[in-house]
Chain A
Amino acid sequence: MNEAIKISNLSKSYGTHIVLKGLDFNIQQGEIFALLGVNGAGKTTSLECIEGLRKYDSGNITINGIMGIQLQSASLPKYIKALEAVKLFAKWNKTSLDRATLDALGIYELSKKPYYQLSTGQKRRLHLALALTRNPDILFLDEPTAGLDVEGQISLHEQIRQLKAIGKTIILASHDMAEVENLCDRIAILSGGKIAFIGTVGQLGDTIGKHYNITIQTENRTENYESENIGNSLLSLLMQYKEKGETITDIKIDRGSLEQHFIKIAKGE
Chain B
Amino acid sequence: MGAFLYGVSLQWKLDIRSKTLLITCYIVPLLFFVIMGGIFTSVMPEARYTLIQSMTVFGVTMGALIGLPPSLVEIYSSDIKKVYKANGVPLILGLALTNISSYIHLFLMSIILYIAAPLAFNAEIPKNPGMYFISLAVFIAVSLSIASIIGLAVKDQAKTSMFSIIVFLPSTMLSGIMFPIELLPKTFETIGKLFPATWGYKLLAENAFKFESLLPLLLIFILATVMCSILLRRIDK
Contacts and interface: CB of A to CB of B under 8 A. Distances in A.
Given A89-B89, A130-B87, A71 B10 contact: no
Contacts of A80: 10, 14
B89 A71 contact: no
B18 A130 contact: no
B89 A92 contact: yes
B75 A71 contact: no
Given A80-B10, A88-B10, A92-B3, A71 B18 contact: no
A74 B83 contact: yes
B86 interface: yes
Given A71-B86, A80-B14, A133-B87, A88 B80 contact: no
A114 interface: yes
Interface in B214-237: 237
Contacts of A71: 79, 82-83, 86
A114 B89 CA distance: 20
B88 A93 contact: yes
A88 B83 contact: no
Contacts of A79: 14, 17-18
A93 B86 contact: no
Interface in A223-251: none
B85 interface: yes
A129 B80 CA distance: 15
* Residue from B14, B88, B89, B237 with most neighbouring chain A CB atoms (10 Å): B88
A52 B117 CA distance: 54
B122 interface: no
* Residue from B10, B18, B75 with most neighbouring chain A CB atoms (10 Å): B10
A133 B10 CA distance: 18
Contact of A114 (B2, B17, B237): B17
Contacts of A88: 3, 6-7, 10, 89
Nearest to A77: B14
B83 A75 contact: yes
* Residue from B3, B13, B18, B237 with most neighbouring chain A CB atoms (10 Å): B3
A92 B88 contact: yes
Contacts of B3: 88, 91-92, 94
Interface residues of A, number: 28
Contacts of A94: 3
Nearest to A90: B3
A84 interface: yes
Interface in A57-91: 68-69, 71, 73-80, 84, 87-89, 91
B74 interface: yes
Given A87-B6, A92-B3, A76 B89 contact: no
Q: Is the interface of B mostly helix, strand, loop or mixed?
A: helix
Given A93-B88, A134-B88, A75 B6 contact: no
A77 B13 CA distance: 12
B46 to A, nearest CB: 44
A55 B85 CA distance: 14
Contacts of A73: 79, 82
Contacts of A74: 79, 82-83
Contacts of A131: 86-87
Nearest to B85: A53
A93 B75 contact: no
A51 B82 CA distance: 11
A84 B87 contact: no
Contacts of B237: 55
Interface in B3-30: 3, 6-7, 10, 13-14, 17-18
Given A88-B3, A88-B10, A92-B3, A77 B86 contact: no
A219 B78 CA distance: 58
* Residue from B80, B82, B86, B89 with most neighbouring chain A CB atoms (10 Å): B86
Interface of B: 2-3, 6-7, 10, 13-14, 17-18, 74-75, 78-80, 82-83, 85-89, 93, 237
16 contacts: A69-B86, A69-B87, A71-B83, A73-B79, A75-B78, A75-B79, A79-B18, A80-B14, A89-B89, A91-B6, A92-B7, A92-B93, A93-B87, A93-B88, A127-B83, A134-B88
9 tightest Cβ-Cβ pairs between the two chains A and B: A91-B3, A69-B86, A79-B17, A75-B79, A92-B3, A74-B83, A79-B14, A75-B80, A73-B79
Given A71-B86, A93-B88, 15 more contacts: A53-B85, A55-B237, A71-B79, A71-B82, A71-B83, A73-B79, A74-B82, A75-B80, A76-B80, A78-B18, A78-B74, A80-B10, A93-B87, A134-B87, A134-B88
